[in-house]
A and B are shown apart, each in its own frame.
Chain A
Amino acid sequence: EANTNSDGDAIKVFVRVRPLTQGTGLSTDGDHSLCLTVSSPQTVRLHCKPEPRTFTYDHVADMNTSQEEVFSSVAKNIVESCMNGYNGTIFAYGQTGSGKTFTMLGPSELDNFSDELRGVIPRSFEYLFFLINREVERSGGTKSFLCKCSFIEIYNEQIYDLLDSVSTSLFLREDIKRGVFVEGSVEKYAASAAEAYQVLSMGWRNRRVASTSMNRESSRSHAVFTMTLESKETGQEVVNIRTSQLNLVDLAGSERQRDTHTEGSRLKEASSINRSLMCLGQVIMALMDVSNGKNRHICYRDSKLTFLLRDSLGGNAKTYIIANVHPGSKCFGETLSTLQFAQRAKLIKNKAMVNEDTQGNVR
């Protein structure tokens, strides 16, 4: 069913509400008043004043939802599509402390593979290799798979390789055959879920190391784990090769993303006017977004992240966004902006169209 429409509804949104906790050191500790209620499996009601507001998504999971349930609704279809040659992407978005890492990975320092609390990523590995093995068996040896993993981090618009802790920043490139890729990033082969998980935890550790030695916080960087799946089918003297990609993305805490459109009306300052100039360009750009279909060129490039994942944002790929929110009333502002972002995400589709010329062609 997932495959009947190659580009319909490219982006789906899953909202997950984390439980209230204590003793985590978060400023929300001990605050028991909630700012939202899950009113149905598709809607969440935010207690705004004067009127509460209801938001609708593909799925809304309340505090009691299990990791298995999240995996089944979000990742299962995407992993299956990957087996069929589609690219797939899963994003986790939300405020720091809203449960992104728990959703994606599970509890920290988890090496036990059978833990009930393991997250979407380890479960995706298991399911992918389960499907691979089944497919290989069914085909009677005519089909084989090759799985490569890479793991990069985007911090301050620079790209670092998490599988090669000594690498300097890397560049994005585009190739006519393989699309957008990070030039020179390390690729590790994985033959089983356990091996893939090993690659992941190795990189994840590097991410943490980076956060102390260079004074960065992990929540200020985006981490992108990419699995490239290559299938080879040998028929009568014809070899059919198909590749697809699965991207698992842990986004920086939403409160850090100052450069996205979530900013509201704040003015950019010009304490040093050179630094602020970029922003003048952005003011002008904003004026053009309401243009009348004229063909114009925008000089400012996408951010590295959107460029890398441009295919997932309104292209030919299956994409799920998991928006994590904290229900505490102290988090009201952040939660509202996360919910609004998630709703806008539903509207992200490639604005470009097939360039059909409607003038003077019926003769």
Chain B
Amino acid sequence: MAANNSIEWRAVCEKFRLAQELSEIESKKDPENNPFRSKYKARDLLKEIHCSLKKIEIEEQGEAGDEADCESSQTADGEPEDGFEKTFTGDSAAGLRAARLAVLQYHLGVNHIETEELSAGELHLMVCMKLIDKCTTTRENVSLFIHVRNQLGILWAGRDEIEKAQGFLEIAETMYLVYMKEDGQPPLDLQDFFVPEGEELSQQEKIRRFEMAYTHTLYYLAQVYKNLQQYERAAQYCHSTLQRQLEYKQFAPLEWAINAATLSQYYITKTRYMEARHCLAAASVIANLAGEIPSEAAAKESEAESEKREELLQKRAEIARCWIKYCLNLLQDAKKLLEDNIGELDLDRQDELKRARRNEEEEKEKGRKSAILFGSSDTFDSICSLEEKVSSMLPLEFEEARSIFLVGQSYVTQAKEYFAMDGHVTDHIEILQDHSALFKVLAFFEEDLERRCKMHKRRVDMLEPICKDLNAQYYLLICRQLQFELAETYYEMMDLKLAVADKLDQPDVHTIKKFNHLCSSSMKYYQMFLDSTRSPEGKFPEKLEDDLLRPALVAKFRVARLHSKLISSNLATQMENLSLSLESYNFVVQYCEENPEAKNAVETELELSMEMVSLLPLKINRIRSTLASSK
């Protein structure tokens, strides 16, 4: 080891400090036409240090050249040695010498990579690897082991050799884990090799840097696994990256929160609601750490405040929208589980699931929970208490469903505040569509038909005004979605009214009027949807686009049914309605005859349409003869 306080050594340390400064700070100010000026200067300094190190070594040791480590560039010979061929222990004098040279090689490697000389950079990194691979892993070199492998991982991924990158990074991961298990003391940072005595980093800073290097390893592995299409694993590594950032306080609150909220959406697609909820609760809590939202007045005063306000409001609204999806999917998944073949609540199934739930819930949750928790000591409790506000279990009855619905609805209100119609049309409508979907799935759990009908009415009330105002030239797809949804909602209400009326002996005039109104409203929106597919000249397409095929034929089919449902005491009107109904049924049948590939898309509807096409004419004829005889 060099005498830590010699004048020469102080000069070396000063050079190293300068090289770091040039590379990290000065280089940002380099002119466009000479972008790597400071990096080149830093490189020269590093090379000088390398030379003087050699010199000091020779002077002190007197016994030069223990290995073939003369000059860097021509030494990448042979295979890297395996673990069992370690020559020195990492903390021996020889081990430290090797590590010190390796640090320089590492910096030279990174420097070359940053100046777009990848192959030269690779060479230096490999020399670095060889030097430390001769030593056992200790506190002195473990950090370097991880850093150099991170760099090699990035390098090889850039060359599209993902497996090679994966190899380096996975070794780094293992090394960290083994070191933490066997030693765990704060390791030396790369910088610690080149500071005069007494100026070493604090223990705390050493830990921070070491843990950060490992966080980076995990973060690169997340990307590697994504590129290898190992999605489950990639998600797991994203999760760990987030978790570690929080633990070691290495994060920007808003970005962290958005990442966690995004991860929750991944868990939703995998129906893992407990994990999704945890991510969301953490996202909400951490987003609050980003500071107070500047008031409107403050925003008017200064641009910085205005930007901050905009950003905070937007990110919080985004997180609210992720919560909405959580509630919605939880309800919808429960519905799927509980419904029978006509979409009604299956009571037997409900009992069965309730029983099953009592038995398994506890043990299942215990097993998974410990693996996924986020939080540093200060945030952990707030995250848990936010979690408690909404269930992560599939609701099995109305009350449970309702409490999830209410949470979802409160996030709807919150999200709409930022995503107002004026300025954010698409987002605003998407939120309303979610709100409508929340009502729709809540209605499934409601047993009282009148109350259920009222829930659907709420959907109509929120969607109908927009559907009227929205410009179809710019929002064609959304218009179609709204038209279709309104048509379906009215259809559903019509069905419910029918079910209610069936229980009465004789429906009164008011009920009939109401019923007919629902029928015509539904028809109106189906028709608007169908009309949206026409050409400017008003022609209906001969061949429907793939993504419109099923909706359009279903719309025709529904229109046909609705025409036949209309109630009228007037025979002539009855006959007319039935004829219109027949016409629409015919359309479905004929379209499928001309385009056989459509048959699969509307199997059930086609079957019923064919049946109706053969039955309706009889019915119509019967009315016609009654009419004729009554004249």
B535 to A3, Cβ gap below 8 A?
A: yes
Query: In this assembly, does B377 line the interface, its C-beta being within 8 Å of a C-beta of chain A?
Result: no
* B464 to A: closest C-beta gap in Å: 14
The answer to whether A294 and B268 touch across the interface, beta carbons within 8 angstroms, is yes
Measured CB to CB, the closest approach of chain A to B392, in angstroms, equals: 16
Q: Contact: B258 with A283, CB < 8 Å?
A: no
Minimum CB–CB distance for B122 against chain A, Å: 15
Q: Which of B36-44, B177-185, B338-346, B358-366 contacts A (4 or more CB under 8 A)?
A: B338-346
- In the bound complex, residues from chain B placing their C-beta under 8 Å from that of A297 are 265, 318, 321-322, 324-325
> B530-552 vs A: 1/0 string, CB under 8 Å?
00011111010100010110110
**Is there contact, CB below 8 Å, between B425 and A176?**
yes
A316 pairs with B474, CB closer than 8 A: yes
Measured CA separation A277–B222 after assembly (Å)? 12
Q: Does A138 contact B (CB under 8 A)?
A: no
Q: Which residues of the other chain, B, contact A360 by a CB distance below 8 angstroms?
A: 339, 341-344
Our pick among B153, B241, B533, B537 for the contact of A280 (Cβ within 8 Å) is B241
Contacts of A84 in B (CB 8 A): 536
Q: Does B219 contact A7, Cβ atoms closer than 8 Å?
A: no
Contact A7 B476 (CB under 8 A): yes
Chain B contacts for A3, CB-based, 8 A: 535-537
Whether B224 contacts A4 by the Cβ 8 Å rule is no
A357 within 8 A of partner (CB): yes
B157 at the interface (CB under 8 A from A): yes
Q: Residue-by-residue, is B245-283 near A (CB-CB < 8 Å gives 1, otherwise 0)?
A: 100001110011011011101101100000000000000
A295 to B220, CA, bound (A): 29
Q: Using Cβ atoms and an 8 Å threshold, which residues of chain A touch B261?
A: 299
Interface with B: A143-151, A246-254, A261-269, A318-326, which one? A261-269
From the candidates A4, A277, A298, name the one contacting B252 in the complex (CB within 8 A). Answer: A277
A354 with B604, Cβ < 8 A, contacts A265-B157, A360-B342 known: no
B427 CB → nearest A CB, Å = 8
Query: Which residue on B lies nearest to A355, using beta carbons?
Result: B481
Complex contact B343–A361 (CB within 8 A): yes
Contacts of B480 in A (CB 8 A): 354
Indicate if A350 sits at the interface (CB-CB under 8 A): yes
The answer to whether residues A277 and B259 also contact, given A283-B223, A287-B226, A295-B329 and a CB cut-off of 8 A, is yes
Interface set, chain B 208-236, CB cutoff 8 A to A: 212, 215-216, 219-220, 222-224, 226-227, 231, 234-235
The answer to whether A20 has its CB under 8 Å from any CB of chain B is: no
Say whether, besides A3-B535, A173-B423, A290-B231, A356 and B242 are in contact (CB < 8 Å): no
A291 neighbours in B (Cβ, 8 Å): 269
Is A270 interfacial (CB 8 A cutoff)?
yes
**Which A residues are in CB contact (< 8 Å) with B266?**
284, 287-288
In chain A between 171 and 218, which residues have their CB closer than 8 angstroms to a CB of chain B? Answer: 173-180, 215
Contacts of A278 in B (CB 8 A): 255
A236 within 8 A of B: no
Q: Is B300 an interface residue when CB atoms closer than 8 A count as contact?
A: no
Contact between B424 and A356, CB atoms less than 8 A apart: no
Q: Is the CB of B268 within 8 A of A296?
A: yes
The docked-state distance in angstroms from the alpha carbon of A8 to that of B551 is 16
Interface residues on chain B, number (Cβ under 8 Å): 97
Contact, CB under 8 Å: A273 / B212:
yes
B472 adjacent to A316 (CB under 8 Å): yes
* Docked CA distance A243–B472 (Å): 12
Distance of A270 Cα from B537 Cα, bound (Å) = 57
User: Interface digits, A82-115 against B, CB 8 Å rule (1 contact, 0 not)?
Assistant: 0011010000000000000000000000000000
Q: A355 with B484: in contact, given A273-B215, A296-B325 (CB under 8 Å)?
A: yes
User: Once the chains are docked, how many angstroms separate the CA of A263 from the CA of B573?
Assistant: 65
Cross-chain pairs A/B with CB under 8 angstroms, 18 sampled = A3-B535, A3-B536, A4-B541, A178-B471, A244-B473, A267-B220, A273-B216, A273-B250, A274-B255, A280-B222, A280-B242, A283-B238, A292-B269, A295-B325, A299-B321, A316-B477, A349-B547, A360-B343
Known interface pairs A6-B533, A299-B261; 16 further A-B residue pairs with C-beta atoms within 8 A, sorted by A's residue number: A3-B535, A3-B536, A6-B536, A243-B473, A273-B212, A280-B242, A280-B259, A284-B259, A284-B266, A287-B266, A295-B437, A297-B318, A354-B477, A355-B481, A359-B339, A361-B491
What residues make up the interface of B, taking CB atoms closer than 8 Å to A? 32, 153-154, 157-158, 160, 162, 165, 212, 215-216, 219-220, 222-224, 226-227, 231, 234-235, 238, 241-242, 245, 250-252, 255-256, 258-259, 261-263, 265-266, 268-269, 315, 318-319, 321-322, 324-325, 328-329, 332, 339, 341-344, 421-426, 433-434, 437, 466, 469-477, 480-481, 484-485, 488, 491, 495, 529, 533-537, 539, 541, 545, 547-548, 550-551, 554, 604-605, 608
